[in-house]
Amino acid sequence: MKQIKLIALSAILTLGAVFAIFNTSCTKNVCGATTCQNRGKCIGGICVCPTGEGKPIGVTGANCEIVYRNTYVGVYEGPAPIDTVADSTHLLQFIPDEVDTMDYTTMFVIWQDTARAPLVKLPLQLYNITASAASFSVVPTRNGDFSYRGEGSVNGVTANMRLIETHDTGTVHTYIFSNYIK
């Protein structure tokens, strides 16, 4: 009788071990080989890129590896937005936000004269971000006696911007940067 109980117990333990092995081996880790970047989340083996309020925020690719704003980075050159004899061209240098690297909708633009002397550095908020272009608004910025605001677009080849500069005295200038080429 003791032998039957021992055999039965061994059989139950063996079946339990076999069941445990097969049960865990049948559960697949569908995200095991998938590495999502830039805050992407693996769902069912596919990277789902981050969104803000249900809208894409400028990240795409099979592994969310493409950040659209990086395609807009560079120096764009065009005619001076002000009538001066000394400056025939000016530059707009688009750079990523080095501080908030996880917000893919922020950048900076540095307005430079012909000698590449920076005139003002302005924070930008991107929207309507796609692989081919983005619109942006200039975050209201104070620089010395001047305040700046504006809007524009950039696509990796050309940039356009309308910038409004207001002096503390109340004088207002509007600068148009039209079809600046990278």
Backbone angles phi, psi at 10, to 5 degrees: -60, -40
> What token pair was written down for 67?
């950040």
Residues 75, 131 within the same domain = yes
Backbone angles phi, psi at 174, to 5 degrees: -115, 125
**C-alpha dihedral (6, 8, 12, 18), degrees to nearest 10:** 90
Whether 170 and 109 share a structural domain: yes
Same domain, 124 and 169: yes
Which sign does the torsion angle of CA 132, 137, 142, 143 carry?
A: positive
Q: Same domain, yes or no, for 47 and 87?
A: no
The torsion angles phi and psi of 115, rounded to 5 degrees, stand at: -80, 10
Per-residue pLDDT band at 108 (split at 50, 70, 90):
very high
Domain-ending residue, one of 36, 64, 92: 64
Q: Does 58 share its domain with 40?
A: yes
Q: pTM (2 decimals)?
A: 0.75
- Which tokens is 76 given? 């764009």
Question: Distance of CA 35 to CAs 8, 29, 50, 51, 59, Å?
Answer: 47, 13, 14, 18, 15
Same domain, 56 and 83: no
Burial 103-125 (b: 16+ CB within 10 A, else e): ebbbbbbbbbbeeeeeebebbbe
Residues 60-94 have pLDDT tens digits of 899 999 999 999 999 999 998 876 555 678 999 99
Checking if the pLDDT of 143 tops 70, the result is: yes
Owning domain of residue 44: 28-64
- Tell me: do 177 and 87 sit in the same domain: yes
Residue-wise pLDDT tens digits, 148-160 = 999 999 998 999 9
Which is nearest to 61 in space by CA: 96, 29, 35, 30?
35
Dig out the tokens for 144 from the structure: 């010395």
Residue at a domain's end among 64, 81, 111 = 64
Whether 129 maps to a domain, the answer reads yes
Is residue 110 domain-shared with residue 34, that is, in the same domain? Answer: no
Query: How many domains are contained in the chain?
Result: 2
Structure tokens at 139: 């975050």
